[in-house]
Chain A
Amino acid sequence: MTTLAAATPSPLAAWIARNGPVLAIFAVIFALWEAAVRALNVPDYILPSPSVIVAKIVVSWQLLLVNAFVTFEEILLGFALSVLVAIPLAVAVVYSRIFERAAFPFMVSLQTIPKVALAPILVMWLGYGIMPKVMVAFLISFFPIVINAVIGMRSAEKEMIYLVQSMGASELTTFLKIRLPKALPSIFGGLKVGMGQAVVGATVGEFIAAERGLGYLQLISQVRLDTPLLFAAVVVLSLLGVLLFNAVAVIERIALPWSRLATDVAE
């Protein structure tokens, strides 16, 4: 087909062409869900239909927003703390033998501890405020970031290092011109995983002990058998996660225009 529209697709048409199949799958699932709940007369406290959930979101938007903001804050603080600790630590692992031999294996072995299990201890130490949630988010998002950063910084080929050394580059120049830019795709990979983990961490932290936040709202809804609100909180939490993940992805795309190019060609 060589219609004019196909030759110069509008951004909207291109977006629909790309995301259409996924949207269609979601539409079918929600339609089936809605139909099944209505046909079988399932009570709301067991499984609310999508339309009931949407109505609940519309009615309780203020409640959801206030609590979403709390969770959002915990996620961002935990994630930011992870980045601030993980990146310098990765540099230390790459450049220092002691860190490489001692700290890195130690961190990798720590990774096997289920961080969620530490949440009650953190609550005991840090109280009911925002801090224990930030710490759980930090602990759980920290490892993918540091490990990916280390892998990335080690990924520069030997010849690449030799090349700049033959030009008389200092260690700092080698880091800034080679190791760091070479590591960025891997670092962003770690950031994306870490961001998803931070969402999990903050929510779990709220499950343990909280007075605010989406996780807390879920607990309260569960106790009150307010299943539509429980689902509404899940929807908002998912949207929050998707939003934060895509924020990292957008920054990556802007910062590394060459990266997508390299993988596109490789594929």
Chain B
Amino acid sequence: MTRAGVPIAISGVTKRYNTARGGEVHALAEIDLAIAPGEFLSIVGPSGCGKSTLLMLIAGLIPASSGNIAVGGSRVKGAVGNVAVVFQRDVLLDWRTVLANVLLPVEIKKLDPATHRRKARELLRSVGLADFEDKYPAELSGGMRQRVAICRALVQDPGLLLMDEPFGALDALTREQMNLDLQRMWLRDRNTVLFITHSIEEAVLLSDRVVVMSSRPGRIADVVANDLPRPRGAHTRSEPRFVEHVERIRRHFLALGVLSET
């Protein structure tokens, strides 16, 4: 089992879409970004800034218009083996039990069933779902469903975890708990995490660095390094440096016109 996170190197990546009407949308302009192995990096930005597009490009689900992306040293062309994706919608398969959902990547990647079954059970236990492995997704709450989705991503021991607003649909309290759970799992596994969120506080709480993006076309406006000691929690939120980071990012949003105080 490889526990080490993989590095990501993004250089000169652009993305243009053709719209149905024959127009062109410039989604990403010249992105350069290097993510260290085992780093937790968040991207915050207004809707339509291309942050989800960037995630899709790294996962190899859509091709870049130009530029180069390397994950773990090899250039991305199509889906990458060592990468797991978590979306805002949990996209659990209704027809599979919780355990069978977690084991989906094991089946598709043809990994060893016995060891991964054990690992899946361990993961479910670590997020408090040990008694739910035979339930169907329809029987779970939103927070529980997203926990299952995260277990499904982690069961494959990904060197890189791509998360696109994974907690965006959850209530505030569940969301805080999920942040702490994710931090705990990341501290244990130390895989590289690219985390997209709308919540500035969430980004600062979890990340080593926060990338702020501006929109149309999407570009990197700022990178905020954050070395607050871990594990972070409720106490972190009141620390002066935490507040400082949050303020700095918020000022970008005010400058971009995403937030307006008038």
A166 contacts B91, C-beta separation under 8 Å: no
B136 contacts A177, C-beta separation under 8 Å: no
A166 contacts B61, C-beta separation under 8 Å: yes
Across-interface contacts of A264 in B (CB, < 8 A): 138
User: In the assembled complex, how far is the CB of residue A98 from the closest CB belonging to chain B, in whole angstroms?
Assistant: 20
Across-interface contacts of A7 in B (CB, < 8 A): none
0/1 string, B70-103, CB within 8 A of A gives 1: 0000000001110111010101011110000000
Across-interface contacts of A169 in B (CB, < 8 A): 108
Across-interface contacts of B217 in A (CB, < 8 A): none
A262/B109 contact (C-beta < 8 A), A163-B91, A165-B61, A184-B95 known: no
B87 contacts A159, C-beta separation under 8 Å: yes
What's the tally of chain B residues with a CB closer than 8 Å to chain A? 26
In the bound complex, how far is the Cα of B9 from the Cα of A60, in angstroms? 83
Query: Which single member of B79, B93, B96, B138 contacts A166 (CB below 8 Å)?
Result: B79
Across-interface contacts of A167 in B (CB, < 8 A): 79, 84, 104-105, 108-109, 156
B93 contacts A262, C-beta separation under 8 Å: no
User: In the assembled complex, how far is the CB of residue A161 from the closest CB belonging to chain B, in whole angstroms?
Assistant: 9
The answer to the question of A173 belonging to the interface, with a C-beta cut-off of 8 Å to chain B, is yes
Query: Which single member of A163, A256, A258, A265 contacts B87 (CB below 8 Å)?
Result: A163
Of A162, A163, A182, A184, the most chain B CB neighbours within 10 A belong to A163
A162 contacts B81, C-beta separation under 8 Å: no
B136 contacts A258, C-beta separation under 8 Å: yes
A258/B108 contact (C-beta < 8 A), A166-B84, A168-B81 known: no
The answer to the question of A39 belonging to the interface, with a C-beta cut-off of 8 Å to chain B, is no
0/1 string, B145-180, CB within 8 A of A gives 1: 000000000001000000000000000000000000
A-B contact pairs, 22 of them (CB 8 A): A159-B87, A162-B59, A163-B91, A164-B104, A164-B108, A165-B61, A165-B79, A166-B80, A166-B83, A167-B84, A168-B81, A169-B108, A177-B93, A177-B107, A182-B93, A182-B94, A184-B95, A261-B139, A264-B138, A265-B138, A265-B139, A266-B138
Query: Chain A: residues with CB nearer than 8 A to chain B?
Result: 157, 159-160, 162-169, 173, 177-178, 181-182, 184, 256, 258-259, 261-262, 264-266
